[in-house]
Each structure stands twice: as C-alpha cells, then as structure tokens.
Amino acid sequence: MKVTVDRNICCGYGVCVETIDEVFAFDGEEKLTITSDIKLEWQQKVRFACQQCPSQALTLED
Ligand code: SF4
C-alpha cells in the first residue's frame, strides 16, 4: 500500500492525522508528511482516512 498527498489541495485540517498519526503527520512547516512504511495493521485506518479527507487530497495505491 502507498499513499500520496496533493499538497496543492490539502487544506491541513488534519482529519487523516487524527485518524492514524502513525502514518500521517505535519512537519515543522505544517506540511503533511506520510510514512512510506505502512504496516498491515494500519491499512484499514489508512483507507478510512483517505475516504474521509475533506479535500480528496489523498491517493491510495494498493
Ligand atoms: S485529511 Fe486531507 S486535507 Fe486534511 S490534512 Fe489530511 S490530506 Fe490534508
């Protein structure tokens, strides 16, 4: 599983970070960062976060 973010449309509300902060986080400049090592047990929450993103800024690849 791989997730990418379109930072041009990410509004930074942090729904994804609230859903699973092991994967999504903000860096020092409040830009969203995503871990490249998504563990199997996190995948369900990651899918949910992608569906819930209010900007549809997250793209999921299996
Ligand atoms: S939920 Fe979507 S818009 Fe909000 S911080 Fe995450 S990627 Fe950005």
pLDDT digits (tens, 9 = 90+) for 4-53: 999 999 999 999 999 999 999 999 999 999 999 999 999 999 999 999 99
Q: What is the pLDDT of residue 50?
A: 98
Three-class HEC string of 22-58: CCEEECCCCCEEECCCCCHHHHHHHHHHHHHCCCCCE
Q: What is the pLDDT of residue 1?
A: 95
Q: How many angstroms is it from 46 CA to the middle of ligand 1?
A: 12
Ligand 1 site, CB within 6 A? 5, 10-16, 32, 53-55, 57-58
All domains in the chain, ordered by first residue:
2-61 (3.30.70.20)
